[in-house]
Structure 1
Amino acid sequence: MPETLKTWQYSAVNGNLEDCLTLNNDAPMPSISSLRQDELLIKVISASLNPADYKVPATPLIGRLLISRPATPGMDFCGRVVGTHPSNIAFEEGQLVFGGYAMINQRGALSHYTVIPMANVAPLPEGVDPDHAAAVGTAATTAYQSLMPDTLQPGAKVFINGGSGGTGTWGIQFAKALGAEVVTTCSTANVELCKQLGADEVINYKTHDVVANLKARGTVFDLVIDNVGSTTELYDQSNYYLKAGGTFVLVGVGADLSLSGIFSNLSRQLRPAIMGCRGFYFVQQKNESEFFGRIGGWMAEGKARAVIDSTFSFEDVPKAYKKLREGRARGKIIVHVENRQ
C-alpha cells in the first residue's frame, strides 16, 4: 500500500470550484488500522460528477459549516475494497463495489483512495461496467426516491420535468420499471434519447409552453417530479394538472442554494392540503446500500442503464466540472480515476 495518494482538493471557493481545485500528489494515505468498524478503504476506479459538488462548497454559510477544508470533491464512484476493519464480514478485500457519500464532506471520490461507510455502498453486480456503476450514485438514488417507490402504483401517470439530465435519465427508466406511464420534458436534441429510455411522451420545451401544455390536460397526473427547479411556476400551477391527493416532488433547486431558497421549499412541504395546495416533497439525499442494491439489480437485468455524456481523465477534473456547469450534459459525466492505459 502506498504511503501517499493523489487527490483533487479545494480550500476557499472564490468563484467557480474548477478554478479553485489543486491536485495534491502527496496527500497522506489512510491507514487500515484507522478504519472504524463500519468503514471501507476503497481504491477508486471511476467517479461521476454532480451539480451539488460545486454548488454546496460555494454556498457561504452552508458550505463552510458542512465541509472541513481542504476537501476533496465528488460523491459517487465505483472502486475496489483494499482495506476493512478486522470485524468486517460484509465485504472482502478485492471486492468491487459502487456507491456514494451520504452527504458532501471533506472526503470525496476524486481521489485515488477514499474511505466510506459500508452503509453507502453495495457490491457491483456481475456484468455491470464500472463507469456505469459510478454513474449511479446520487443521481440515481435521488431519482429512485423522487418516485415515491413505496406508494407509486402500477399504471400511475408521472410527469418528470427535465428528462435528459443525470437524474432525469434514471427517473424515466425507474418509473417504467415500476409500471408507470411517463411524460417528460427536454430540448429538441434530447427528444429521441428520452423516448429510447422509455418515456411515453416527450414535451419539447424549446417549442412548447410546458405549463400551458400540462394545464390543458386537466388533473391527470398522480406524481410530478421537478428535476430543474428554475422557477416556482410548475408548482404554483400544479392544482390544474396534478390530481387531488397527488404529490409534487422537487429535486432541482436551480442555480440558487441559499438559506432563503431552502426555507421556501420547506414551507411548501409544510402547507396543508386544506389550503388548496397539492402535496409537496423536497427530496433529501439518501445514498443507502438498499437503494444501490435495487438499482444495481435493475441494471443487471437490463431494465436500466447509465447514460454517459462524456469521460475525462483524472488530470482533467477541472475541465469536467466546467462542462457540468455549462448545464447541457446528456446524462452523467465520468472521471477515470484509475489510469486505463
Structure 2
Amino acid sequence: MRAWVYSKAGKSLASALTLSKTARRPPSPLPADKLLVRVTHMSPNPADHKVPEIGQLASLALTRSFTASPGMDYAGVVEEVGAKINNTTTSRNAVSYKPGDKVFGKVESTPFGTLGEYIQPFPNGCVPLPPSVSPASASTLGTAAQTAYQTLIPYITPGAGDEVFVNGGSGGVGTFAIQIAAKVLGCVVTTSCSSRNTSLCSSLGAATVLDYATTDIASALRARGQVFKLVVDCVGGSPADLYTAANDYLLPSGTFVQIGGDFSPSALCATASRAMWPGFLGGGKRAYKFLVMETRRDDLVQLAQWMAEGKIEAVIDGDVYPFEEAPKVFEKLQTKRTRGNLVVKVSD
C-alpha cells in the first residue's frame, strides 16, 4: 500500500517522513475482532509528531515497530469485517458492518497509522459516517472533538448557564470545546486566542474573547471574580500561575482541566507543580485534572450526531492537503499556529 513512514523522527517528524508505494499492509488474515478500513481522509494531532520526536524508544514502545506510519484519526470505507464484529453489542445499540460502509474514528498507537491507505481499527473506535457529514469533517472528530467532549461533559450541567474559560480557543480542541460548551451545553464561554482568530472564536459561540498578546489573561480572569465553573487549558505550556490564579476566578466547586502540553522539562515541571504543589504552600486550591483521553464509541456517536444536526462543525485550516504533501501538515502543526484542524486526503 501507499504510506508515509518513518523510522527515526529526530527533532522533526516532517523531515523524517518518506513516501513508500510498497509499504507493508496490516496483518492478513484479518483478526476476528477488527475491521479492515481503507482510509480516505486523516487529521493529524500534536501527539502524532510529539511522541516520535521524543526518541526512537518512545515510538518503539507505542508502535512496537522500528518503522511506522503516524496518525490516529480517520474517515474511510470498510473493506473487510472481522468474524466476531457483527456479534458485538455496544452499550448504545448493535451495529452491523459490511464492506462499502463509510466510517470514521480513531485507531490506537500502531505501526499502521492513518497516514497509510489501510488500517485495522477495533469497533469501539469505528463509527458509521452520517450521510450529511463529509469524510473530511468526520476525520477531525476522533481526537480533537472527543478530547473537548471529555473535558466538558463530566463537569457541566447542561442548560444551567455555567461559565467556562477555554485557554487557547482557536486550535483543534479549542474550536470544538467552544462549540460544545456554548451551542450544546448552553454555557457562557470566555476564551483566549491571538487577534487574527478573534472573529473565528466569536463565530463559534464565545461570548468574550481575550487576545493573549495584549492582555494579561490571569489578571483579566481575576477581575471577573469567582464565576467560572470550568477551565479547559488547551495550551498546557502556559505559565503555572494561570492555575494558581484560578483561586480567584474559579468557583470553589470548579475544576481546572489541562490537556496536552509539551514534553520539555519546563512544561513537565509546570504540570507536576499544578498537580502536586499544595495550596497552603502557594499552589492552586481548586480541583485539578490532567485529561488522558479515552476512545469511547458512544462519545463518537454523539459527536457525529451533533455534527449531522449542525450543532458543531469542523474548522479546517485551509484546503484539504493532497496525500503527496502530507509532511507539510506536520510542519504547520509544529508551528502551533493552526486554526482548528488540518486534514489530508489519503485516497479516493
State if a TM-score over 0.5 links the two structures.
Answer: yes
Partner of 2:150: 145
Match of 1:204 among 205, 211, 214: 211
Give the match's secondary structure for 1:45: strand
> Which segments of 5 or more consecutive residues in structure 2 lack a partner in the other structure?
87-95
Match of 2:104 among 98, 109, 120: 98
Matched, 1:175 2:181: yes
After the TM superposition, which residues 56-67 of structure 1 pair with which residues of structure 2 at under 5 Å, given as runs?
56-60=51-55, 62-67=58-63
Shift of the 71–29 alpha-carbon distance from structure 1 to 2, 3 Å rule, reads closer
Give the match's secondary structure for 1:265: helix
Distance 2:26 2:77 in 1: 15
Match of 1:156 among 162, 168, 171: 162
Matched, 1:302 2:299: no
Q: Mean alpha-carbon deviation: is it higher for 157-166 or for 258-267?
A: 258-267
Partner of 2:344: 335
Q: Deviations over 1:224-271 (max 9, x none)?
A: 011001222211221111111210000131xx3158855763664467
Q: Give the aligned residue type for 2:254.
A: G
Report deviation, 1:83: 0.6
> Which segments of 5 or more consecutive residues in structure 1 lack a partner in the other structure?
none
Q: Give the aligned residue type for 1:312.
A: Y
Query: Retained in 2: the 8 A contact 1:271–1:277?
Result: no
Matched, 1:190 2:185: no
Partner of 1:111: 116
Shift of the 99–45 alpha-carbon distance from structure 1 to 2, 3 Å rule, reads same
Distance 1:271 1:297 in 2: 41
Shift of the 193–44 alpha-carbon distance from structure 1 to 2, 3 Å rule, reads same
Match of 1:74 among 51, 71, 74: 71
Distance 1:309 1:114 in 2: 25
Q: Give the aligned residue type for 1:76.
A: D
Give the match's secondary structure for 1:34: coil
Distance 2:240 2:274 in 1: 11
Distance 2:265 2:11 in 1: 19
Report deviation, 1:273: 7.5
Q: Mean alpha-carbon deviation: is it higher for 81-90 or for 58-67?
A: 58-67
Match of 1:40 among 26, 35, 40: 35
Partner of 2:80: 83
Percent identity for Structure 1 against Structure 2: 41
Distance 1:174 1:250 in 2: 17
Matched, 1:320 2:326: no
Q: Mean alpha-carbon deviation: is it higher for 128-137 or for 283-292?
A: 283-292
Query: Retained in 2: the 8 A contact 1:76–1:135?
Result: yes
Q: How many aligned positions are there?
A: 330
Q: Give the aligned residue type for 2:164.
A: V
Q: Deviations over 1:32-86 (max 9, x none)?
A: x522232110011100011111101111353342232201101101000001112
Query: Retained in 1: the 8 A contact 2:240–2:273?
Result: no
Q: Mean alpha-carbon deviation: is it higher for 196-205 or for 86-95?
A: 86-95
Distance 1:265 1:232 in 2: 8
Partner of 2:137: 132
Give the match's secondary structure for 2:79: strand
Distance 1:21 1:55 in 2: 14
Query: Retained in 1: the 8 A contact 2:192–2:210?
Result: yes
Shift of the 66–263 alpha-carbon distance from structure 1 to 2, 3 Å rule, reads farther
Shift of the 228–258 alpha-carbon distance from structure 1 to 2, 3 Å rule, reads same
After the TM superposition, which residues 231-246 of structure 1 pair with which residues of structure 2 at under 5 Å, given as runs?
231-246=239-254
Q: Give the aligned residue type for 1:13.
A: A
Query: Retained in 1: the 8 A contact 2:112–2:118?
Result: no
Give the match's secondary structure for 1:309: coil
Partner of 2:256: 248
Q: TM-score of the superposition, structure 1-length normalised? A: 0.91
Distance 1:40 1:263 in 2: 40
Q: Give the aligned residue type for 2:192.
A: T
Q: TM-score of the superposition, structure 2-length normalised? A: 0.89
Query: Retained in 2: the 8 A contact 1:38–1:85?
Result: yes
Matched, 1:287 2:284: no
Q: Mean alpha-carbon deviation: is it higher for 263-272 or for 57-66?
A: 263-272
After the TM superposition, which residues 265-276 of structure 1 pair with which residues of structure 2 at under 5 Å, given as runs?
265=271, 268-269=274-275
